[in-house]
């Protein structure tokens, strides 16, 4: 186990009343060995299975349990531990605590802390198979997942109640590994500078009109946000959109393709990767009328001229940067995406069918195929743009790891 990985991390472990509570003792012990400062909270029911004393000795801190008890170390307990935590881990998590969390019930110290904390939450459910498979529990788990809460999948096996099935708490080492993975992911892009472009461009016709497209910027903003969470320095060059700039991101707002080109080129030399999710207008009106164009009875003909292909230019000037493109297609997705990959000198390209209702412009979800330089491809199922953002950044991290190890890129 990497002993340094949890150094300086404060982890609050919530123990609820299930037979697997004894395994939480080993989880706490392993977290401490990995360098974490661990504070344990127990529900009253949990104390029926394991004593407070055990957890106090193993964690090296007093155990927070009764809402009204006077434990000197914490002032207003639920606030104290809720704000102190870098991560909260509920192990084992009973069906009851999952249900309470899903509905926002805070009737004891642990559930109050869960409700108050802004720290990432991990639940390791353990219960009888029937309870686990009950639609109510399933629905509660799904609500928690939708809120970004991490669920550590229970294992299958022989349960204390005498039946075989799903609901067993995974081994303590596996639970701790999930925590380690989480922290290593959050540091996975440390030291990297990433340029993300987002949104559509607007090409002015006159002082009140423009030619635009249906891009909302959601994909690019999700990527920028996820990259900051993973420790990267992020510059976001964005076309007009109503989405707020994520905390920690430096944003450069632009309107037209040529403004985007300037902003991107001014940052290009200093970045390690460019993720070009913006929908850039390929053409702009030849002339911008300084006054509002007045209607007349006849037809109006606009002459359009080509805009620069920004990503093509980046491909031409590429040094060490990894270039990730997007391809918005309505037909022959693979053929067009591969052509763009080649022509623009990209490392990989994320292609999606923008004619699908649940993918592409203006949706919260996307379904993509990724094509790599070495000829490989992968098809991803429909997923949220936030999840896809994480996946693209994982691929980028993988690319760097494999380059530094000098092994085959993107092995199967
Ligand atoms: N792109 C760009 N500059 C342009 C057009 C596109 O940088 N003038 C980038 C996009 O940000 C995207 C990739 O190139 O990452 C592909 O964009 P897309 O609109 O799918 O393709 P085009 O190159 O414009 O080709 P076509 O319109 O013929 O499909």
Say what the pLDDT of residue 61 is. 95
Say what the pLDDT of residue 362 is. 74
Show the beta-strand stretches assigned E in 254-312. Answer: 273-276, 283-285, 304-306
Show the beta-strand stretches assigned E in 301-376. Answer: 304-306, 322-329, 348-353, 365-366, 368-372
* pLDDT band with cut points at 50, 70 and 90 for residue 74: low
Pocket lining for ligand 1, CB < 6 angstroms: 257, 276, 278-280, 282, 307, 309-311, 325-328, 340
Pocket probe mutation, ligand 1, options 259, 311, 326, 351, max atoms within 8 Å of Cβ: 311
Mean pLDDT along residues 196-219: 96
Does 405 have pLDDT greater than 80?
A: no
Strands 233-238, 193-198: pairing kind: parallel
Measured distance CA(94)–CA(63) in Å, rounded: 19
Does 397 have pLDDT greater than 70?
A: yes
- Give 384: exposed, middle or buried? Use CB within 10 Å, 0-12, 13-18, 19+: middle
Does 412 have pLDDT greater than 50?
A: no
Q: Yes or no: say if 329 and 354 are a contact pair by the CB < 8 Å rule.
A: yes
Helices (H), strands (E): how many in the chain? 14, 21
How many angstroms separate the alpha carbon of residue 198 from the centre of ligand 1? 12
Confirm or reject CATH 3.40.50.10300 for domain 193-404, answering yes or no.
yes
* pLDDT band with cut points at 50, 70 and 90 for residue 164: confident
Strands 233-238, 87-93: pairing kind: unpaired
How many angstroms separate the alpha carbon of residue 312 from the centre of ligand 1? 9
Which of the residues 53, 76, 160, 161 is marked catalytic?
161
Measured distance CA(280)–CA(277) in Å, rounded: 9
Quick one: which of 379, 378, 371, 374 has its CA closest to 337?
371
Q: Yes or no: say if 45 and 110 are a contact pair by the CB < 8 Å rule.
A: no
Looking at the CA of residue 325, tell me the nearest atom of ligand 1: 15
Compute the mean pLDDT over every residue in the chain, rounded to the nearest whole number: 92
Say what the pLDDT of residue 357 is. 79
Residue 233 region by backbone torsions, left for phi larger than 0, else alpha for psi between -120 and 50, else beta: beta
389 forms beta bridges with none
Say what the pLDDT of residue 411 is. 45
Angle at which helices 109-116 and 95-103 pack, to 10 degrees? 50
Q: Return all residues near 32 (Cβ < 8 A) that are at least 6 apart.
A: 38, 58, 59, 60
Question: Interior CA angle at 398 toward 395 and 402, to 5°?
Answer: 140
Does 233 have pLDDT greater than 90?
A: yes
Looking at the CA of residue 313, tell me the nearest atom of ligand 1: 7
Percent of the chain whose predicted confidence (pLDDT) is above 90: 80
Measured distance CA(268)–CA(315) in Å, rounded: 11
Same fold across 10-185 and 193-404: yes
> Measuring from atom 21 of ligand 1, which residue has the nearest CA?
327
Looking at the CA of residue 327, tell me the nearest atom of ligand 1: 20
Q: Where are the domains of the chain?
A: 10-185, 193-404
Q: Yes or no: say if 228 and 189 are a contact pair by the CB < 8 Å rule.
A: no
Pocket probe mutation, ligand 1, options 211, 325, 359, 369, max atoms within 8 Å of Cβ: 325
Measured distance CA(25)–CA(46) in Å, rounded: 12
How many angstroms separate the alpha carbon of residue 183 from the centre of ligand 1? 35
Pick 65 or 390 by higher pLDDT: 390
CATH pick for 10-185 out of 1.20.1050.10, 2.130.10.10, 3.40.50.1950, 3.40.50.620: 3.40.50.1950
- 88-99 pLDDT, tens digit per residue, is 999 999 999 999
- 358-381 pLDDT, tens digit per residue, is 877 778 888 999 999 999 999 999
Q: How far is CA 371 from CA 121, 148, 194, 279, 326, in A?
A: 34, 28, 20, 19, 10
How many angstroms separate the alpha carbon of residue 290 from the centre of ligand 1? 28
Quick one: which of 398, 391, 2 has its CA closest to 176?
2
Say what the pLDDT of residue 248 is. 92
Pick 272 or 158 by higher pLDDT: 272
Q: Is 161 a catalytic residue?
A: yes
How many angstroms separate the alpha carbon of residue 311 from the centre of ligand 1? 7
**pTM for this predicted structure:** 0.74
Percent of the chain whose predicted confidence (pLDDT) is above 70: 94
Pocket probe mutation, ligand 1, options 199, 214, 268, 276, max atoms within 8 Å of Cβ: 276
DSSP summary character for residue 8: T
**C-beta pairs of 81-84 under 8 Å, 24+ apart in sequence:** 81/12, 81/39, 81/41, 81/113, 81/117, 82/12, 82/112, 82/113, 82/116, 82/117, 82/118, 82/119, 83/116, 83/117, 83/118, 84/10, 84/12, 84/39
* pLDDT band with cut points at 50, 70 and 90 for residue 48: very high
């Amino acid at each position: 186990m990497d002993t340094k990985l949890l150094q300086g991390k404060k982890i609050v472990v919530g123990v609820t009343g299930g037979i697997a509570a004894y395994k939480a003792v080993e989880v706490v012990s392993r977290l401490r060995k990995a360098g974490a400062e661990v504070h344990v909270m127990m529900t009253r029911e949990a104390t029926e299975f394991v004593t407070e004393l055990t957890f106090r000795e193993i964690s090296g801190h007093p155990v927070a349990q009764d809402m009204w008890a006077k434990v000197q170390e914490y002032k207003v307990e639920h606030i104290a531990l809720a704000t102190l935590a870098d991560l909260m881990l509920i192990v084992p998590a009973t069906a009851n605590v999952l249900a309470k969390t899903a509905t926002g019930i805070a009737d004891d110290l642990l559930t109050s802390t869960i409700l108050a904390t802004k720290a990432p939450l991990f639940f390791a459910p353990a219960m009888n198979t029937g309870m686990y498979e009950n639609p109510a529990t399933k629905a509660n788990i799904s609500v928690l997942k939708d809120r970004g809460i991490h669920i550590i999948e229970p294992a299958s096996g022989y349960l204390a109640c005498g039946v075989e099935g799903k609901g067993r708490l995974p081994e303590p080492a596996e639970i701790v590994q999930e925590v380690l993975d989480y922290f290593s992911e959050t540091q996975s892009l440390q030291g990297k500078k990433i340029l993300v472009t987002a949104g559509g461009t607007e090409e002015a016709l006159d002082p009140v009109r423009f030619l635009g497209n249906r891009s909302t910027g959601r994909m690019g903003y999700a990527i920028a946000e996820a990259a900051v969470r993973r420790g990267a320095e992020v510059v976001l060059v964005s076309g007009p959109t109503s989405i707020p700039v994520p905390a920690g991101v430096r944003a450069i707002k632009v309107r037209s393709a040529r403004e985007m080109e300037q902003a991107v080129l001014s940052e290009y030399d200093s970045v390690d990767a460019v993720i070009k999710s913006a929908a850039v207008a390929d053409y702009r009106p030849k002339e911008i009328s300084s006054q509002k164009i007045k209607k007349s009875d006849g037809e109006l003909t606009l002459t359009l001229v080509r805009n620069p292909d920004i990503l093509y230019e980046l491909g031409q000037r590429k040094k060490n940067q990894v270039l990730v493109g997007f391809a918005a297609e309505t037909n022959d997705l693979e053929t067009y995406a591969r052509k763009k990959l080649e022509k623009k000198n990209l490392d990989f390209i994320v292609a999606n069918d923008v004619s699908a209702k649940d993918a592409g412009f203006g949706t919260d979800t996307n379904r993509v195929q990724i094509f790599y330089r070495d000829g490989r491809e992968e098809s991803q199922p429909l997923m949220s743009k936030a999840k896809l953002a994480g996946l693209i950044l994982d691929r980028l991290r993988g690319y760097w790891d494999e380059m530094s190890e000098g092994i085959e890129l993107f092995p199967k």
